[in-house]
C-alpha cells in the first residue's frame, strides 16, 4: 500500500471518527441520552488521537481531541464584543415587575406582545463567536464592552459545539452561562480532599477560577457545562426569542429546558412562583428568573438606557438568610485609604458555605443598623456571593451592649480619619506610609490587568515592604539581584524571574500604565478614553479640568480626581521616575488616531464590505475618531452598507431618517 493510500485512508477514518465522536458528545452532554458506554467512547477518542499524531496536518479544526486541552495560555488578550453585554435591571417584588409590564405596554402603545421567561443561572457569562459554523472566539463578559479571550479553555467544555450541527449562518454570536452542576461540584471536592487539597468554596467561584486557568488540560478535567440563552446575527434570524432558543437547540447547544413563553404578566408570575421553592431541586444554582419581551423587532422600539435594556428585567428570589452572633467589629483599610467596617461572626452555614465575616460597608450603615458587638444578626449573601448583615435581631439583644462608634483614627497608622463632603466613606489621608495603602497600591500596579509583573504576588510585596526595599511602586525599578538573593523565599531562579518580569513591564502600553498608577475612579475603560484623547502622560498632566470633563462619559467627579492626582508634587515625582525607568508614556503608533474626520460621528455597519472585514472597519472608523454601534437608533449618524445588507437595519434607518452610505462614500469621508 502506498504512502498516499495510507494518507487517504487516514483522512477518511479521521473524518469518520470526528463526526461519530461529535454525535456521541451531543447525545451524552446535551441530550443526556448516551448510546455507548464510556469505555467505548474512550477507545474511539484514543484511535483519533493516534491518527492525528501520525498525520498532524489532517487534524480538523473541530476535532473532539480539542476537548482534552493541553494548550498553555500565558496571557488572555482583551476582546471587544460586537455588541455590549449589558446587565439586567434587578427587581425583587411583584409591584416592580408590574411596573415593568406597564412601561412596556405604554412604550408599545397597544402593539401585541408576549414574554419569554428563563432561569437566571448563577454562573459565569460567556460570549461565543462563530464563522461558518466553526467556533472562532470564546470570551468572558469583562466590563461589558470587552472581555478576556479564553478560547482554548472554552473548547474543552463539552456542551459548547466547536462546529455547530446543520447549516450555519456566515457569522453569529451565542451568549450563555457556564455553570458547574451541584453533584459534579461535590464529586470534585471529594476528590480534592482525598488528594489532600483544600475543597472549593462554591460552584460559581470554582467555575470562574477554572475558566481563567492557564493550562487548558486542567480546565478539561473540571466538570463545566454551558447553557446558551441568546443568539445574534446580522441575517437569517428568527423573529422571536423562543424561535431562537429552538434554533440554538437544533445547532447543538444546551438551553434552559424549563424556559417558557408567557402571554401576559400573570403567566410570568405563575412561572416565578412555581420555581421559588423548586429551584432547590435543580442540579445547578439559580438566583432568579429573566423576563424578556419575546418579539425581537419590538425590542428595537423599546431600546435601552445607558446600563440596561428596556425590554428585559431580572426578578431576584429572596436571598437565603441565616442567624448568628456578632463577636466583634474590626476595620480594613484599602489601597485608596477607604476604611471599611467588617463584622466578625460566630461561623454559620449559608447557601452552602461557612460564613465567618461580613461587610458592614460604612459608618452610615452602622448607624442605620444600630449594630452592637454581641448582637444577634441576620446575614445573607448579596447576589448569592458576598455576605452582608441585613438586620439586627433586637428582640435577642443581650443587656448592656454599648452602641458602636466609628473609628476616629486609622487602625493601621493612627492617622485621624477624614470624610469628604458628599461621600459616606471615611478615609485615611496618610497615603505615603499607611502600610495597607502602600501594599495595596503596589499590588494594583503589579496586577495582571495593569503592569502584569510575574512573580510579584501579595506575599512577596508584603515581604519587600516589610524589609524596607520598596516603599512605593516606583521603587520596583531600582531593585537589584544583590538586594533580593539573600531574602527568604528567594533563590537564583525566582530572583531572575522577578527582575525579568519588572523589566518586561516597560513594554506595557500607555493606557494600562495610566490605569496602573492608581488614580481614584480611573478603571481600565476610563484610562483608555483618557489615553485616546490626550495621547501622552505629559498632555494629560497639564490638561485643564474643563477639558477633561468634556470627554464623553468622563464627567466632573473623574475630572476632579485626575486633576487632584497630578496637582500633587509626589505624584509628579512618581511619573518622572517611571519615565526614567522606560515605561510607555504615550500611545503607540498602532493606537494613534489617523485623523479626526469622523469625530463625534457614529456608524452601524451591515453587509459585506469589499476592502474591510467586520473587525478592520471598526478599527478604521475608530482611528478616524468615529464610533461603531450595534443597532440602528435615532442617535446613529450613518449606516454603512456593503453587499447583501441586513434588511431590518436598512428599513430601520429609512424609518428613522438615518443616512445610508456606500463603502465608496465612507472612504471619501476619511480620504
What are the residue ranges spanned by the domains of the chain? 3-68, 90-316, 321-400, 435-507, 510-591, 602-670
- The domains spanning 321-400 and 602-670 adopt the same CATH topology: no
Distances, alpha carbon 245 to alpha carbons 228, 254, 450, 516, 649, in Å: 8, 10, 39, 42, 22
What is the predicted pLDDT for the residue at 312? 94
- Listed range (113-122, 384-393, 495-504, 573-582) with the worst mean pLDDT: 384-393
Residue 334 neighbours by CB distance under 10 Å:
15
* Secondary structure tally for the chain: helices H, strands E: 24, 22
CA distance 461 to 454: 12
Mean per-residue pLDDT, 364-390: 85
What is the predicted pLDDT for the residue at 509? 93
CATH architecture of 602-670: 3-Layer(aba) Sandwich (3.40)
Q: In the beta sheet, which residues pair with residue 260?
A: 117
What is the predicted pLDDT for the residue at 205? 79
- 381 in active site: no
Q: Which residue has the cell 525607568?
A: 581
Q: By the 8 A CB rule, do 607 and 646 touch?
A: yes
Cell readout for 168 is: 450555519
pLDDT in tens, 109-158: 889 999 999 999 988 999 999 988 899 999 998 877 778 889 989 999 98
Residue 357 neighbours by CB distance under 10 Å:
14
Q: By the 8 A CB rule, do 157 and 225 touch?
A: yes
| Residue 643 exposed, middle or buried by CB count within 10 Å (0-12, 13-18, 19+) | exposed
Q: By the 8 A CB rule, do 227 and 121 touch?
A: yes
Residue 531 sits at φ, ψ, to 5 deg, of -65, -40
For the domain made up of 435-507, the CATH class stated in words is mainly alpha
Dihedral (Cα; 34, 40, 43, 48), 10-degree rounding:
-40
Cell readout for 43 is: 477507545
- Is the model's pLDDT at 429 over the cut of 90? yes
What is the predicted pLDDT for the residue at 311? 95
Q: 90-316 adopts what CATH topology?
A: D-amino Acid Aminotransferase; Chain A, domain 1 (3.30.470)
What is the predicted pLDDT for the residue at 424? 85
Cell readout for 226 is: 454551558
**Total length of the chain:** 671
Q: By the 8 A CB rule, do 401 and 373 touch?
A: yes
| Nearest of 136, 135, 134, 133 to residue 167 by alpha carbon | 133
> Is 321-400 assigned to CATH 3.90.550.10?
no
What is the predicted pLDDT for the residue at 570? 93
What is the predicted pLDDT for the residue at 467? 92
Using 50, 70 and 90 to split pLDDT, how confident is the model at 553? Answer: low
CA distance 213 to 108: 46
Per DSSP, the three-state class of 587 is: coil
What is the predicted pLDDT for the residue at 68? 67
Buried b (16+ CB within 10 A) or exposed e, 260-294: bebeebeebbebbeebeeebeeeebbbbbbbbbbb
What is the predicted pLDDT for the residue at 505? 95
Per DSSP, the three-state class of 608 is: strand
Q: By the 8 A CB rule, do 350 and 320 touch?
A: yes
Cell readout for 172 is: 453569529
Mean per-residue pLDDT, 440-450: 92
Q: By the 8 A CB rule, do 362 and 425 touch?
A: yes
Catalytic position from the list 22, 120, 381, 388: 120
What is the predicted pLDDT for the residue at 351? 67
Q: What share of the chain is helix, strand, coil (3-state, %, to 5)?
A: 40, 20, 35
Using 50, 70 and 90 to split pLDDT, how confident is the model at 1? Answer: very low
Judged by phi (left if over 0) then psi (alpha if -120 to 50, else beta), residue 644 lies in left
**Which contiguous run of DSSP H or E holds residue 574?**
helix 569-580
What is the predicted pLDDT for the residue at 476? 96
Using 50, 70 and 90 to split pLDDT, how confident is the model at 95? Answer: very high
- Intra-chain end-to-end CA distance of the chain, in Å: 61
| Nearest of 204, 197, 201 to residue 356 by alpha carbon | 201
- Is the model's pLDDT at 2 over the cut of 60? no
Mean pLDDT of the chain: 87
Dihedral (Cα; 195, 199, 200, 201), 10-degree rounding:
180
Q: What percent of the chain has pLDDT over 90?
A: 47
| Residue 450 exposed, middle or buried by CB count within 10 Å (0-12, 13-18, 19+) | buried
- The top-scoring range by mean pLDDT among 135-144, 510-519, 586-595, 610-619 is 510-519
What is the predicted pLDDT for the residue at 103? 93
What is the predicted pLDDT for the residue at 507? 93
pLDDT in tens, 167-208: 888 889 999 999 999 889 888 888 877 777 767 777 887 888
CATH homologous superfamily for 3-68?
Answer: Helix hairpin bin (1.10.287.610)
Q: What percent of the chain has pLDDT over 70?
A: 94
Per DSSP, the three-state class of 440 is: helix
pLDDT in tens, 203-248: 887 888 888 887 888 888 889 999 999 998 877 888 999 999 999 9
The one-character DSSP state at 586 is B
Cell readout for 116 is: 419569554
CATH architecture of 510-591: Orthogonal Bundle (1.10)
CA distance 634 to 658: 7
Using 50, 70 and 90 to split pLDDT, how confident is the model at 389? Answer: very high
Amino acid at each position: 500500500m502506498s504512502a498516499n493510500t495510507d494518507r487517504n485512508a487516514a483522512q477518511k477514518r479521521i473524518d469518520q471518527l470526528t463526526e461519530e465522536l461529535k454525535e456521541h458528545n451531543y447525545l451524552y452532554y446535551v441530550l443526556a441520552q448516551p448510546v455507548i458506554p464510556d469505555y467505548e467512547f474512550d477507545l474511539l477518542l484514543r484511535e483519533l488521537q493516534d491518527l492525528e499524531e501520525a498525520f498532524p496536518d489532517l487534524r480538523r479544526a473541530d476535532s473532539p481531541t480539542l476537548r482534552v486541552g493541553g494548550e498553555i495560555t500565558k496571557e488572555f488578550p482583551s476582546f471587544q464584543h460586537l455588541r455590549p453585554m449589558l446587565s439586567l435591571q434587578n427587581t425583587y417584588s411583584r409591584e416592580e415587575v408590574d411596573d415593568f409590564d406597564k412601561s412596556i405596554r405604554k412604550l408599545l402603545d397597544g402593539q401585541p406582545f408576549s414574554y419569554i421567561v428563563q432561569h437566571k443561572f448563577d454562573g459565569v457569562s460567556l460570549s461565543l463567536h462563530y464563522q461558518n459554523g466553526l467556533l472562532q472566539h470564546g470570551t468572558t463578559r469583562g466590563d461589558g464592552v470587552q472581555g478576556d479571550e479564553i478560547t482554548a479553555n472554552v473548547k474543552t467544555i463539552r456542551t459548547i459545539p466547536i462546529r455547530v450541527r446543520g447549516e450555519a449562518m456566515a457569522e453569529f454570536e451565542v451568549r450563555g452561562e457556564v455553570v458547574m452542576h451541584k453533584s459534579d461540584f461535590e464529586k470534585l471536592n471529594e476528590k480534592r480532599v482525598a488528594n489532600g487539597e483544600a475543597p472549593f468554596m462554591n460552584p460559581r467561584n470554582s467555575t470562574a477560577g477554572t475558566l481563567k486557568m492557564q493550562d487548558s488540560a486542567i480546565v478539561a478535567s473540571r466538570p463545566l457545562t454551558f447553557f446558551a440563552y441568546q443568539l445574534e446575527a446580522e441575517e437569517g434570524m428568527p423573529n422571536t426569542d423562543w424561535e431562537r432558543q429552538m434554533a440554538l437547540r437544533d445547532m447543538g447547544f444546551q438551553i434552559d429546558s424549563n424556559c417558557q413563553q408567557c402571554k401576559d404578566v400573570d403567566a410570568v408570575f405563575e412561572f416565578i412562583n412555581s420555581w421559588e421553592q423548586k429551584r432547590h431541586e435543580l442540579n445547578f444554582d439559580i438566583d432568579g428568573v429573566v423576563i424578556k419581551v419575546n418579539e425581537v423587532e419590538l425590542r428595537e422600539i423599546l431600546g435601552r438606557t445607558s446600563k440596561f435594556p428596556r425590554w428585559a428585567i431580572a426578578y431576584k428570589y429572596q436571598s437565603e438568610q441565616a442567624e448568628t452572633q456578632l463577636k466583634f467589629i474590626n476595620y480594613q483599610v484599602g489601597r485608596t485609604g477607604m476604611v471599611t467596617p467588617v463584622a466578625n461572626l460566630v461561623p454559620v452555614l449559608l447557601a452552602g458555605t461557612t460564613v465567618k465575616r461580613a461587610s458592614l460597608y460604612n459608618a452610615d450603615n452602622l448607624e442605620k443598623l444600630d449594630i452592637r458587638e454581641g448582637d444577634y444578626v441576620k446575614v445573607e449573601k448579596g447576589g448569592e456571593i458576598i455576605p452582608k448583615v441585613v438586620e439586627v435581631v433586637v428582640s435577642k439583644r443581650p443587656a448592656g451592649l454599648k452602641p458602636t462608634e466609628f473609628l476616629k483614627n486609622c487602625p493601621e497608622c493612627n492617622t485621624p480619619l477624614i470624610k469628604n463632603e458628599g461621600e459616606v466613606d471615611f478615609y485615611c489621608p496618610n497615603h505615603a506610609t499607611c502600610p495597607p495603602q502602600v501594599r495595596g497600591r503596589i499590588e494594583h500596579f503589579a496586577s495582571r490587568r495593569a503592569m502584569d509583573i510575574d512573580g510579584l504576588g501579595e506575599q512577596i510585596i508584603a515581604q519587600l515592604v516589610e524589609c524596607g526595599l520598596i516603599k512605593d511602586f516606583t521603587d520596583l525599578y531600582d531593585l537589584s539581584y544583590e538586594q533580593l538573593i539573600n531574602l527568604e523565599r528567594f533563590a537564583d531562579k525566582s530572583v531572575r524571574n522577578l527582575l525579568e518580569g519588572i523589566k518586561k513591564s516597560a513594554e506595557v502600553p500607555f493606557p494600562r500604565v495610566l490605569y496602573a498608577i492608581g488614580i481614584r475612579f480611573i478603571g481600565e475603560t476610563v484610562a483608555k478614553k483618557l489615553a485616546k484623547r490626550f495621547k501622552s502622560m505629559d498632555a494629560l498632566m497639564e490638561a485643564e479640568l474643563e477639558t477633561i470633563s468634556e470627554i464623553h462619559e468622563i464627567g466632573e467627579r473623574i475630572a476632579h480626581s485626575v486633576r487632584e492626582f497630578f496637582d500633587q508634587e509626589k505624584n509628579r515625582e512618581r511619573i518622572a521616575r517611571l519615565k526614567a525607568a522606560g515605561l510607555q508614556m504615550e500611545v503607540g503608533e498602532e493606537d494613534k488616531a489617523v485623523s479626526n474626520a469622523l469625530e463625534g460621528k457614529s456608524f452601524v455597519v451591515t453587509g459585506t464590505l469589499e476592502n474591510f472585514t467586520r473587525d478592520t472597519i471598526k478599527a478604521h472608523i475608530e482611528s478616524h475618531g468615529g464610533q461603531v454601534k450595534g443597532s440602528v437608533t435615532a442617535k446613529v449618524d450613518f449606516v454603512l452598507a456593503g453587499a447583501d445588507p441586513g434588511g431590518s437595519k436598512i428599513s430601520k434607518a429609512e424609518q428613522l431618517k438615518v443616512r445610508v452610505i456606500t463603502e465608496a462614500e465612507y472612504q471619501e469621508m476619511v480620504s
